[in-house]
Amino acid sequence: MAGLILILGGARSGKSSYAEKLAAEMGRRVLYIATAEARDEEMAARIEIHRQTRPEHWRTLEASSDVGRALLALDEHPQVLLLDCLTLLVSNILLAQEAEPEAVIEMTVHKEIEALIAAQSDLDIPLIIVSNEVGLGLVPPYPLGRVYRDILGRANQHLAAEASKVIFMVAGLPMTVKEEG
């Protein structure tokens, strides 16, 4: 099976730039999986900046959920998958299921990750996943924020266990946390 690479870090740590550089080094046919939803003007501006920085020959799949299913439905297979980012994918699930108990939300996130890993395995191509490490800061002052932090932290642990390589970004510098073979 081709490798799964997880790139973690805080906000503005250089995660996306590093992931894009890594993907470009792995192959020309990159599929960029964008999970952000433009819920406000600031997020729309961020999305546009990301669009402008990606190479024109990369394909983009905008998928705010059910990413694994969307990947298996592709009619043309890329050489590399780059998902940016798990943080927003988990947020999308949480906001869609906000009224549900934490265990239900977490199970949905778990199923999403398992479907993504299964799709990557079926396609047998490298998958780079970008995610924020949100557990290093203050404890969120409201329940939804704490649920989000906890679910994302466990999702990151799940992916790190599956990944062949884990990178932690600090101030634009990559630190290898895990590397197999």
Residue type (1 letter), 90: V
Those residues whose C-beta lies under 8 Å from the C-beta of residue 7, and which sit 6 or more positions away, are: 15, 18, 19, 22, 128, 129, 130, 131, 166, 167, 169, 174
d(CA 125, CA 131): 19
Catalytic, 50? Answer: yes
Q: Which of 50, 77, 110, 158 is flagged as catalytic?
A: 50
For tokens 């299964």, name the residue. Answer: 118
Active site residues: 50
